[in-house]
Amino acid sequence: MSTTPSDSYPPTPSLSSLATSVDSLSNSSRSKASFSNNSYRFGTLCVTTEHKDQFGASSVPIYQTATFKGMPGGQYDYTRSGNPTRTALETQLARLYECRRAFAVSTGMTALDMIIRLVSPGDVIIAGDDIYGGTDRLLTFTKTNGGADVRHIDMTSQEQLDAVLEECGTKVKMVLIESPTNPMLKVLDIKRIADSVHTVSPDSLIVVDNTMMSPYLQRPLNLGADIIYDSGTKYLSGHHDVMAGIIAVEREEVVKRIAFLINSTGTGLAPFDCHVLLRGLKTLSIRMDRQASTASMVASYLDTLGFHVNFPGLLSHPGRDIHFRQADGAGAVLSFSTGDVAMSERIVGGTRLWGVSVSFGCVNSLISMPCVMSHASIAADKRAERGLPEDLIRLCVGIEDPRDLIDDLERSLLEAGAIYKRFDDSASIPTTPTTSSIPESAHASAVINHAFMADPASAESWAVQRAKRFRRGGAQLDSCEEDAAVGRAAAIAGTADETETLGHRLGEKLDIQQTSAQAQEDIVVSAPGKVIMFGEHAVVHGVTAIAASINLRCFAILNKRPDQCIRLDLPDMALYEKEWTLDSLPWDEFTASPLADGRAPAELDQVSLKALEAFLHDDGLPANAHVAALAILYLYMTLCNHGVRRGASYCARSALPIGAGLGSSASYAACISAAFLQLFGLLSVPSSTKGRPDVTYPGRQAINDSQATLINEWAFLAEKVIHGNPSGIDNAVAVRGGGLTFERAINGKQGGMKSLQGFKSVRLLLTDTRVPRQTKLLVAGVGERMTADPAWGTRMMDGIQSISDEAQALLTDVSKSRGDFVTGLSSLLDRNHEYLAELGVSHPALELIRTKTGSAPYHLSTKLTGAGGGGCAVTLIPDDFSTDRLKALLSELRKSGFRPYLTSVGGSGLGILDASTGATAIDLDASGAGESSHIPLREAFHEVNAEELETWAERTGDWLFI
Ligand SMILES: Nc1ncnc2c1ncn2[C@@H]1O[C@H](COP(=O)(O)OP(=O)(O)O)[C@@H](O)[C@H]1O
Ligand SMILES: C[C@@](O)(CCOP(=O)(O)O)CC(=O)O
């Protein structure tokens, strides 16, 4: 892309009218979009306009004038031909579209009109069958009055395209496409279409309506298109306060022809409108990000309810792969059908926050029925022919709080009879883990708001959990949809009063259903997270680390299945009910198997892992969900290779923050290990411990040491799938619980662990920075630095080892006064953090927490814990630290967007629900009056809020712990 000195702006048309415009295009100052710094990313380009004003105005002035005083060599003469405000806008648009020239005209339809004028009578125009009503109207006019031969085909069908190309050959002069289409969100392969058309008719112009995506998400000129047009009224301006159309072109001869037409017809955008549009462009990327993430939540919500939803972001969308090859996001428009026109009308009419309006791309959310609104100009029979359902509802998502949008939509769906409550919505929605002993304050809502912005996966999982409280009703569901709807939401047997809340019922005494046959079906396990006090990272390289379990756990339920399928449900990873038939798994390449006695192999089998990775790759799961599924399937297939293949459904949920350095992956790995070892009969779990004098209730030490070792070995293997090169400390804590010192067996050194009681009485504050990071990458980064500079590495490791040694001595020295103990531990935390910072695994957010906690009036010691790079910080709270001061500190941390909570350390390790006492179903009708209705345990597990998991588990039966 050529670079233009910014002082040459604005360009200087020397003559008036047509010649002015066209000639000026070949002027070097205008021949290409000018990038004064083409290394800027899109969001930066949006807010940096290349404009120089004689008075230094920061915002582009509005040249509200029709004429300019004629001066020889003057820059402008007549606004129809050129105006400085318009030039500024067009320059900015060309930067964003990465094209030679962009034009701003009065509306999107004007843009299309200018483009369609490039064809002559008799020329063939191929257009999609799912296009905007206005486009269809203009094309029909062109066909009738301009003599163009317009063919509508299903552009997703290569066969249909080939047929027209074969029939019309070089007479095909223009191909009009939208991707995704409006309103069916069909995805077209722009490159494939451009290539096949250009092969047959090289002069043909591939014209893409890019309005649904904007240049932020899709730039079709890079995919072989010749012309892009965009309704600037939509995302580009973003506020529905201006109308505009944009044409973006790369080929010079096309540039000239369009410039000629705009100048001749006087369709250029007026100066004031140019100014408004320029202002809107500044926030394009942030608006789009927010709109797209909310759209994704709304799509998941409706999909979980069982509606047929059209949205390329959904895994089920048939064009998803193509879409994400050519675009950077799914956009913010989706549509869904209800199966009933009258019901759709009631839904659309019943919303309050969603404005009933045509158009899209605005900061306000809109709802419409295309067949009676934006697409009404297409005759009903043509709509039917083109597969546009009359009951289709289109949602154009804005920037409101997503929860308000879902509230409003839900109310309307309920009122319209499109969904029915399963449970009363007074049950709270899962939000953040509330583990602090200090009550959640008003800041909680700020933290939750932050969560919605920062963590799309948890926001989406919130929407899905929410949808699961309803079931679809009213409209005639086809049986397949109904199955899906019923399967997605909790299936409640019987016809119990569905306004009862599960939350209420769980609060009451559960009616535990016990039949021995059923009792065998549910395997329920849990394992704690951990806090590393000293030695993280260094432990990977053989240094002693000190860690303890915390009172936040991962839970999992495994159900044996009679069929040959494996189903995974990992709501925390937004992976729902993913199912494979056992036959479809890559058994041929997967040769990993257990050692003869059922023990875990010491290392991952890389060939098997690669085969499984490749197999899962086709599912297009997000990275975290991919690795989570990989860990399960790796263990599962390895265990199957022991002899027998068993169908199972597995669901895991965590009360721990994930990816925050608190060992969520290890607790997750420990659960996989314990559950699947039981499935394959490799773990003999003792039955009830009730009444056994040798076992301390609630079942501590009920699982013996050799079983613990077995579980830990398999958990380590799963942890390796997730982490690459873990030390083993996290899974050791997750399995064994309590506090321990840990050394990895590495470089011929014998590893080992020792139980530690010392810091059980210490109060710790864990503060989640909410900065996501990946342990795998951080561990690998430290490894690389150590390899590059071994002397530095040795110094780092020796330093951390001596801290661990001192900490161990301190924790076991009963003669130390409490004061000396706390002071000693504090200074070791600070010293250890400094080493970690030098290892390069700290983060500004962690340093900020250290500064806040370390300064007056708190003067506390803090270090990062776990892999760092974000994640959590651990702060030691001395015994005499007052509650008021602690509250003030928590409040300050929350205000900064962090999530602090007090934790207790040293709790139980891996637990297994005692099958002989465990519930297999929960009675909804606990009063005993009326017909009873039981929710299978797995469904109840799915429904319960994350923060209630612990209580739920306790009420469900007796637990056996290591
Ligand atoms: N509840 C869960 N469900 C599914 N996967 C999980 C769960 N908890 C953890 N994981 C897996 O572990 C990964 C987090 O590991 P990691 O980055 O080491 O963070 P942490 O410090 O929490 O262990 C997740 O991306 C996911 O793959
Ligand atoms: C950095 C490390 O020492 C601890 C990682 O803990 P976490 O994944 O951040 O919870 C790595 C390891 O020990 O495997």
Flag whether 89 is in a domain: yes
Q: Are the beta carbons of 488 and 304 closer than 8 angstroms?
A: yes
Does the beta carbon of 730 sit less than 6 angstroms from any atom of ligand 2? Answer: yes
Quick check: 641 and 593 in contact, CB under 8 A? yes
What is d(CA 143, CA 152) in angstroms, rounded to the nearest whole number? Answer: 12
| Residue 605 resides in a domain | yes
151 neighbors 164 (Cβ within 8 angstroms): yes
Asked whether residue 733 falls in the same domain as residue 679, the answer is yes
User: How many residues belong to the chain?
Assistant: 962
- pTM assigned to the model: 0.52
**Whole-number pLDDT of residue 565:** 93
**63 domain residue, yes or no:** no
- Count of alpha carbons within 13 angstroms of residue 23, beta-carbon side: 11
Are 413 and 268 in the same domain? no
DSSP, residue by residue, 560-603: E-SSSEEEEEEGGGTEEEEEEEGGGS-TTT------TTSPPPSS
Rounded to whole angstroms, the Cα distance separating 801 from 750 reads 16
Q: Are residues 267 and 214 in the same domain?
A: yes
| Residues 304 and 467: beta-carbon distance below 8 Å | yes
For residue 955, give its domain range. 502-516+915-961
Q: Is 319 helix (H, G, I), strand (E, B) or coil?
A: coil
- Asked if the ipTM is above 0.95, the reply is yes
Q: How confident is the model at residue 833 (pLDDT cuts 50, 70, 90)?
A: very high
Cβ contacts of 926 within 8 Å, gap of 6 or more = 505, 508, 509, 510, 511
pLDDT value for 934: 52
Q: How many other CB atoms are there within 10 angstroms of residue 18's CB atom? A: 15
- CA angle 708/712/713 to nearest 5° reads 120
The residue contributing the CA closest to ligand 1 atom 19 is 659
- Report DSSP letters for 409-473, one per residue: HHHHHHHTTSEEESS-TTSPPP-S----SSPP-THHHHHHHHHHHH-HHHHHHHHHHHHTTEEE-
Catalytic residue among 9, 63, 78, 132: 132
pLDDT at 506 over 60: no
Half-sphere exposure of 851 (CA within 13 A, CB side): 7
70 touches 13 (CB < 8 A):
no
DSSP-assigned letters across all residues of 75-97: S-SBTTT--HHHHHHHHHHHHHH
Residue 133 sits in a domain whose CATH number is 3.40.640.10
d(C-alpha 786, C-alpha 789), whole Å: 5
Q: For residue 250, give every residue at least 6 positions away whose Cβ sits within 8 Å of its Cβ, in sequence order, or none.
A: 99, 100, 221, 226
The dihedrals phi and psi of 238, each to the nearest 5 degrees, come to 80, -5
Do 432 and 317 belong together in one domain?
yes
What is the band of 633 on the pLDDT scale with cuts at 50, 70, 90? very high
The proportion of the chain whose per-residue pLDDT surpasses 90, expressed as a percent, equals 63
Are residues 719 and 624 both part of a single domain?
yes
pLDDT band at 321 (very low <50, low <70, confident <90, very high): very high
In this prediction, residue 799 carries a pLDDT of 98
* β-strand partners of 752: 743
Residues 346 and 264 in one domain: no
Q: What's the 905 CA to ligand 2 centre distance in angstroms?
A: 17
Q: What is the CATH number of the domain that holds 839?
A: 3.30.230.10
CB of 338 closer than 6 angstroms to any ligand 2 atom? no
Number of the ligand closest to the Cα of 526:
1
CA of 455 relative to ligand 2 center, distance in Å: 21
Q: Which residues contact 182 (CB under 8 A, 6 or more apart)?
A: 130, 131, 132, 211, 212, 333, 360, 370, 374, 394
Ligand positioned closest to the Cα atom of 571: 1
What is the token pair recorded at 352? Answer: 């309050």
What is the SS3 assignment for 696? strand
Q: How far away, in angstroms, is 775 Cα from ligand 2 center?
A: 6
Tokens matching residue 727: 């030390």
What is d(CA 103, CA 30) in angstroms, rounded to the nearest whole number?
Answer: 12
The residue to which tokens 């158009």 are assigned: 359
Q: Which residue has the tokens 């629900």?
A: 913
Strands 921-923 and 565-570: unpaired
- Is residue 221 scored above 70 in pLDDT? yes
Tokens of 96: 């964003």
Helix count (H) and strand count (E) of the chain? 32, 29
Residue 28 domain flag: no
In three-state form (DSSP H/G/I as H, E/B as E, the rest C), the secondary structure along 860-913 is CCEEEECCCCCCEEEEEECCCCCHHHHHHHHHHHHHCCCEEEEECECCCCCEEE
Dist CA 684 CA 276 (whole Å): 71
Provide mean pLDDT across the span 736-764: 86
CB of 727 within 6 A of ligand 2: the answer is: yes
Give the mean model confidence (pLDDT) for residues 461-482. 64
List pocket residues of ligand 1, CB cut-off 6 Å. Answer: 554, 570, 572-573, 624, 627-628, 652-654, 658-665, 668, 722-723, 774-775, 866
CA distance 662 to 223: 44
Which atom of ligand 2 approaches the CA of 729 most closely? 13
Give the HSE-up count for residue 601: Cα atoms under 13 Å, Cβ half-sphere. 17
Write out pLDDT tens, residues 130-145: 788 788 899 999 999 9
Residue linked to tokens 């309810």 = 305
Model confidence pLDDT, tens digit, residues 55-74: 889 899 999 999 998 766 67
Q: Is the model's pLDDT at 805 over the cut of 90?
A: yes
Give the pLDDT confidence score for residue 618 in this predicted structure.
80
Strands 872-877 and 763-768: antiparallel
Collapsing DSSP to helix, strand or coil, 147 comes out as coil
User: Could you tell me the distance, in angstroms and rounded to a whole number, from the CA of residue 714 to the centre of ligand 1?
Assistant: 16
CB burial readout 417-454, b (16+ within 10 A) else e: ebbeebbebebeebbbbbbbeeebeebbeebbebbbee
Structural domain ending residue among the three candidates 246, 279, 312: 279
Q: Is residue 736 part of a domain?
A: yes
End-to-end CA separation in angstroms for the chain: 65
**What are the φ and ψ backbone dihedral angles of 405, each rounded to 5 degrees?**
-65, -40
Considering every ligand atom shown, identify the ligand nearest to the alpha carbon of residue 730 and give its number: 2
Q: Which atom of ligand 1 is nearest to the CA of 663?
A: 23
Is-catalytic flag, 209?
A: yes
Paired strand residues for 335: 310, 394
Residues 471 and 543 in one domain: no
Q: Residue 951: what pLDDT?
A: 87
Phi, psi of 87 (to 5 degrees): -60, -40
Does residue 156 form part of some domain? yes
Rounded Cα distance between 748 and 420, Å, is 63
Q: Which residues contact 196 (CB under 8 A, 6 or more apart)?
A: 158, 161, 162, 165
How does the average pLDDT of the chain come out, rounded?
A: 84
- The separation between CA 547 and the C-alpha centre of its own chain, rounded to angstroms, equals 31
Asked about 101 being catalytic, the answer comes back as: no
pLDDT digits (tens, 9 = 90+) for 551-606: 899 999 999 888 899 999 999 998 988 999 999 999 999 999 999 889 999 999 99
> Same structural domain for residues 615 and 555?
yes
State the total domains in the chain: 4
CA–centroid distance, 841 to ligand 2, in Å, is 11
H or E segment at 617? helix 606-617
* Pairwise CA distance, residues 399 & 297, whole Å: 13
The answer to whether residue 513 scores a pLDDT higher than 60 is: no
Q: Which helix (H) or strand (E) holds 943?
A: helix 937-943
Domain assignment present for 685: yes
Say how far apart CA 77 and CA 87 lie, in whole Å. 13
The pLDDT of residue 495 is 24
Give 534's pLDDT tier (boundaries 50, 70, 90): very high
Q: Would you say the CB of residue 334 lies under 6 angstroms from ligand 2?
A: no
Question: In this structure, are residues 76 and 66 in contact, taking their beta carbons and an 8 Å threshold?
Answer: no
Q: Is the CB of 271 under 6 A from ligand 2?
A: no
Look at residue 422 and tell me whether its pLDDT is greater than 80. Answer: no
Residue whose CA lies nearest to ligand 2 atom number 4? 866
Asked whether 719 lines ligand 2 (CB < 6 A), one says no
Q: Is 697 a catalytic site residue? A: no
614 and 532 in a common domain: yes
SS3 244: coil
> What would the 3-class secondary structure string for 298-339 be?
HHHHHHHHCCEEECCCCCCCCCHHHHHHHCCCCCCEEEEECC
Q: Is the pLDDT of residue 427 over 60?
A: no
349 and 262 in a single domain? The answer is: no
Asked, for residue 604, whether it belongs to a domain, the answer is: yes
Residues 924, 887: one domain?
no
Query: Is there a single domain that holds both residue 125 and residue 272?
Result: yes
CATH number for the domain including 323? Answer: 3.90.1150.10
Interatomic CA distance for residues 737 and 549, integer angstroms: 5
* Calpha distance 732→147 (Å, rounded): 77
Out of 30, 32, 80, 700, pick the active-site residue: 80
Nearest to 940 by CA among 959, 920, 925: 920
